[in-house]
Amino acid sequence: MIGKDMDEYIAPFPENTRIILGKLRSTIKKAAPGAQIVISYGIPVFKMGKILVYFTVYENHIGFYPTASGIEAFKEELAAWQGGKGSVRFPINKPLPLKLIAEIVAFRAAEIRETEHTRKKK
């Protein structure tokens, strides 16, 4: 599923998966309007200087990676889904929690801006 941009990444998937990924992309872009989308290691990565979030598609789920800090900050809200230290699995056959994803992305964007602000003050 390697593409050189987000559209190429999405294109090979079945229509229902493409629709889900379109909603996910739109949600992330709205929550972090200045984020750049790149393909790194064959998957979409949203960056604001540093990695904001990234995701990939598996047969039965979407792996969403908001880094360890994003998972920790929303661990109670994410408890309904399987995940790890920096990831969560959203089943492909259920609606994505887009509002929660937007909140996580906004949190990560604020975190990155604060880190940059602090770094520039030194």
Task: Give the domain CATH number at 68.
Answer: 3.90.1150.200
Any domain includes 96: yes
Any domain includes 52: yes
Condensed to tens digits (0 to 9), the pLDDT of residues 64-105 reads 999 999 999 999 999 999 998 899 999 999 999 999 999 999
Any domain includes 1: no
The pTM of this model reads 0.90
d(CA 51, CA 74): 18
Q: CB-based contacts of 57: which residues, under 8 Å, 6+ apart?
A: 1, 13, 17, 21, 63, 92
Number of domains in the chain: 1
Condensed to tens digits (0 to 9), the pLDDT of residues 9-58 reads 999 999 999 999 999 999 999 999 989 999 998 899 999 999 999 999 99
- Mean pLDDT score of the chain: 91
Any domain includes 78: yes
Query: Which residue range is the domain that position 76 belongs to?
Result: 6-121
What percentage of residues in the chain have a pLDDT greater than 90?
Answer: 81
